[in-house]
C-alpha cells in the first residue's frame, strides 16, 4: 500500500511537471517579419513555437489561415493541441504577429521633361506596397525640385508606407525655358490708331487759326458744362474716400482656430500620431498606432508606440491615476486614466516576473482602452495601460 501511494504521488508529480515544462519551453508569441519569409505553414508555426520539443503535436487549428500565404501585416491566432506523457492532452494558443518590414516600390521614368513653371507631375509616379497595393500621393515626398530653375535637376523621390518603411529613388528632371511672347501683332494693331491721330491733328490745326463768334460761344458753353462735371467728380471722390475710411474701420471677421487631430496629450506635452500597424520600429518623430486605429469611439483598444529619448520620453513619468487625452482623426476627444504601469521584455512577458504574459491583457483584451509603449533599453520596454 505504501508503495502504491508512493507511485501515485510520483505519477501526479510527473503529470504536473510535464505541463510546467510546456510553459517554460513553448513560445506563445511569434514575431514574424514579412521580409524574412515568402509564406508560412502550419509546420513552420510548430517549429517556431518549439511545440514538438514539449510533446506530441496532435493538431494545429488556424481560424483565419489566409495570412499564411499573403503574410499581410496583423496579429493572428493559432491553437496547437498537444499530448503529453500519461495520456495528458492540453491546448496552447499562439499569437502570430506579422510585421510589415517590406519597403514600398517607386516606379517612374528615369528622366522627366517639364517646362519652366510647371509643377512636378505626381501622376507620372506610381508607389506600390506589399500585396501589391497602390499608395496615394500623400505617401510620396519630392525634394530637390525647383520649377523656376531652368536646366537639369537631380530630384529625390521618397515613399513611406503605413508601417514607416521608406524607399528613395533619384530621377533626372529637365526644365526647359518658357517660350518668348510674340509682340508683332500688338504693334501692327497700334499703327492704324496712330495714323488716325495724325490725320485728326492735320484737320484741326487750320480751324484753330481762325476765330469766329460761333466758335467762341461753343468754347464758352463747353467750359461752363465742364465746371459742374468737375464739381460732381470732386464730390464723388470725397464720398469714395469716406467709404474707404469706413471700410478700414470695420474689423475683419475672425477665423476660428483649426481643431488639432490625431494627437496624444500627457505629461504636459502634445504628441501627434500616425498609423504604424505592426511596424518593426516607432516613427522617427511623434507616435504610431501599432495596433488599432486611434479612434476614441470604436470601442476597441489602440496600442501606441514612440521613442525614448524622443517624443515618448514623458511616458516614463506616467503612473497609476495619470490622465492621457486622445484626439482621433475625426476630432473626437477622450481622456483615459492609467490603471497599470509595467516593464515588459521584447517577448511580451513581465520583465520582473517571467511567468506573467502581459500581451493578452495589454493587446487582446477588448473594450475602449489604450496602451503606450516606449523603450527603456534594447530589451525592456515601459508599457502604460489606461481606460
Q: Would you say residue 278 lies in a domain?
A: yes
What is the average pLDDT score of the chain? 81
Same-domain status, 40 and 116: no
Q: Determine the pLDDT at residue 112.
A: 95
| Residue 231: pLDDT over 90 | no
Q: Would you say residue 252 lies in a domain?
A: no
Average pLDDT over residues 233-262: 57
pLDDT by residue (tens digit) across 52-69? Answer: 988 899 999 998 888 898
Q: Determine the pLDDT at residue 356.
A: 92
Residues 266, 270, 276, 281, Cα dihedral to 10°: -80
Average pLDDT over residues 185-201: 47
Q: Kindly state the cell numbers that stand for 264.
A: 496624444
Q: Determine the pLDDT at residue 72.
A: 83
CATH code for the domain of 42: 2.60.40.10
List the single range of 78-87, 267-276, 321-330 with lowest mean pLDDT: 78-87
CATH code for the domain of 373: 2.40.260.10
- The strands making up 74-84's β-sheet, listed across from edge to edge, are 29-33, 88-99, 74-84, 56-61
This prediction's pTM: 0.43
Provide the residue range defining the domain that includes 292: 263-386
Same-domain status, 29 and 125: no
Q: Would you say residue 321 lies in a domain?
A: yes
Average pLDDT over residues 298-322: 94
Average pLDDT over residues 78-92: 89
Average pLDDT over residues 89-98: 91
Amino acid at each position: 500500500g505504501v508503495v502504491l501511494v508512493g507511485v501515485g504521488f510520483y505519477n501526479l508529480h510527473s503529470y504536473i511537471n510535464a505541463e510546467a515544462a510546456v510553459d517554460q519551453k513553448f513560445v506563445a508569441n511569434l514575431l514574424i517579419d514579412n521580409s524574412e519569409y515568402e509564406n508560412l505553414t502550419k509546420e513552420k508555426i510548430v517549429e517556431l513555437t518549439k511545440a514538438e520539443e514539449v510533446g506530441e503535436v496532435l493538431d494545429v487549428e488556424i481560424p483565419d489561415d489566409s495570412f499564411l500565404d499573403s503574410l499581410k501585416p496583423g496579429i493572428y491566432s493559432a491553437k496547437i493541441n498537444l499530448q503529453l506523457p500519461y495520456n495528458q492532452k492540453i491546448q496552447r494558443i499562439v499569437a502570430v504577429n506579422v510585421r510589415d518590414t517590406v519597403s514600398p516600390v517607386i516606379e517612374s521614368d528615369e528622366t522627366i521633361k517639364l517646362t519652366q513653371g510647371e509643377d512636378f507631375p505626381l501622376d507620372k509616379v506610381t508607389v506600390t506596397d506589399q500585396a501589391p497595393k497602390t499608395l496615394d500621393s500623400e505617401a510620396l515626398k519630392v525634394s530637390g525640385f525647383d520649377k523656376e530653375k531652368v536646366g537639369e535637376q537631380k530630384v529625390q523621390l521618397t515613399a513611406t508606407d503605413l508601417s514607416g518603411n521608406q524607399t528613395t529613388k533619384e530621377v533626372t528632371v529637365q526644365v526647359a525655358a518658357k517660350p518668348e511672347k510674340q509682340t508683332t501683332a500688338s504693334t501692327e494693331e497700334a499703327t492704324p490708331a496712330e495714323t488716325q491721330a495724325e490725320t485728326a491733328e492735320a484737320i484741326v490745326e487750320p480751324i484753330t487759326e481762325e476765330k469766329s463768334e460761333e466758335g467762341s460761344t461753343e468754347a464758352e458753353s463747353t467750359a461752363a458744362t465742364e465746371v459742374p462735371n468737375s464739381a460732381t467728380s470732386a464730390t464723388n471722390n470725397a464720398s469714395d474716400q469716406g467709404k474707404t475710411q469706413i471700410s478700414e474701420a470695420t474689423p475683419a471677421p475672425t477665423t476660428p482656430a483649426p481643431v488639432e487631430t490625431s494627437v496624444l496629450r500627457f505629461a504636459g506635452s502634445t504628441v501627434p500620431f500616425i498609423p504604424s500597424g505592426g511596424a518593426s520600429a516607432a516613427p522617427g518623430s511623434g507616435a504610431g498606432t501599432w495596433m488599432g486605429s486611434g479612434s476614441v469611439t470604436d470601442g476597441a483598444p489602440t496600442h501606441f508606440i514612440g521613442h525614448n529619448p524622443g517624443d515618448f520620453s514623458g511616458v516614463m513619468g506616467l503612473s497609476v491615476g495619470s490622465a492621457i487625452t486622445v484626439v482621433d482623426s475625426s476630432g473626437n476627444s477622450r481622456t483615459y486614466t492609467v490603471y497599470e504601469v509595467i516593464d515588459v521584455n521584447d517577448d511580451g512577458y513581465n520583465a520582473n516576473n517571467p511567468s506573467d504574459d502581459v500581451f493578452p491583457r495589454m493587446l487582446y483584451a477588448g473594450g475602449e482602452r489604450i496602451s503606450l509603449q516606449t523603450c527603456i533599453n534594447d530589451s525592456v520596454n515601459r508599457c502604460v495601460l489606461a481606460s
